[in-house]
Amino acid sequence: MTAVKMHANEVQTDAQLLGRLLAAQFPQWAGLPLTPVPSAGTDNALYRLGSDMVMRLPRIDWAIGQAEKERRWLPRLAPHLPLAIPEQLARGEPGEGYPWPWSIYRWLPGESATLARLNDPCRAAGQMARFVTALWQVDATDGPPAAEHNLRGAPLALRDEPTRAAIAALAGVIDTGKATVVWEAALEAPNWEREPVWFHGDLLSGNVLVEQGRLSAVIDFGGLAVGDPACDLMIAWSLFSGASREVFRVETTVDEATWLRGRGCALSQAAIFIPYYWQTNPVGVKNARRMIAELL
């Protein structure tokens, strides 16, 4: 089976290709079953390998460096974090017609987080607040700067043009007037003036796992960098609602300006996502539309 195509110019993968890569580079795992993992993730194709591993292959050129970043930094972050995060087991090289490095990770059990899958949303909000707070407190010395890598922890003004264009493109789909008010309030909020801190960068419900009704893991650190942590507040609207969102806000203890920037990050992410993936990623579009509804 071939992974669902997300981008016009992405590199396609299938189980036959992965089998050849394993046989050539990791023959000890070549006989294990390979199963595509259904996912609304946009940067990497995932295939479960046996019962306790997953292969992750970049779909598109902008995702090529993510696995190397995770290999370097996640072992440093993991001991400080209260939820499980990915553990890279092996790194593969280009071959068999596949052009880029790829990787094998330990399989983390669970389902993508939704409110309906949480036994106690307020308790989960407290868990998530403790996770992001712990991440923000890890020593960020020598971490990759957000502004140098065009990641979300850079000042929001850098995303102004594409965000306004995306909002305009959603006329008739969302309330563009209200969306513009939210975006402009975020732009007017003071920038992060403190030392840069670690942030996940893509903290959406699809990158949080739930097991037996409780948060169990945070995955996909491709947006990891150091800078303004406001982008990690996106989870407040992507997953939580009402009382649980308020618990998250209180327990992260962020100031009003950071909350406003976080709301702007969430709006920017969702607004830009919807037009691009309208035809190719219905699950992701549904999640983005839900987040905008919560924002507005």
Residue written as tokens 């669970």? 110
The CATH architecture of the domain made up of 15-106 is: 2-Layer Sandwich (3.30)
Q: In this predicted structure, what is the pLDDT of residue 3? A: 61
Give the model confidence (pLDDT) of 88-130 as tens digits: 999 999 999 999 999 999 999 999 999 999 999 999 999 999 9
Report CA 4 to chain centroid distance, whole Å: 18
- Measured CA to CA, the distance from residue 43 to residue 45 in angstroms comes to 7
DSSP 248-295: HHHHHT--HHHHHHHHHHHHHHHHHHHHHHTTT-HHHHHHHHHHHHHH
Domain ranges in the chain? 15-106, 111-295
Is residue 215 very low, low, confident or very high in pLDDT (cuts 50, 70, 90)? very high
**Tokens matching residue 28:** 């000890």
Q: What is the pTM of this model?
A: 0.94
pLDDT in tens, 282-292: 999 999 999 99
C-alpha dihedral sign at 127, 130, 132, 134: negative
pLDDT class for 79, splitting at 50, 70, 90?
A: very high
**In terms of C-beta density within 10 A (0-12 exposed, 13-18 middle, 19 or more buried), how is residue 136 classed?**
middle
Q: What top-level class would CATH report for the domain 111-295?
A: alpha beta
Q: Is the pLDDT at 4 greater than 90, yes or no?
A: no
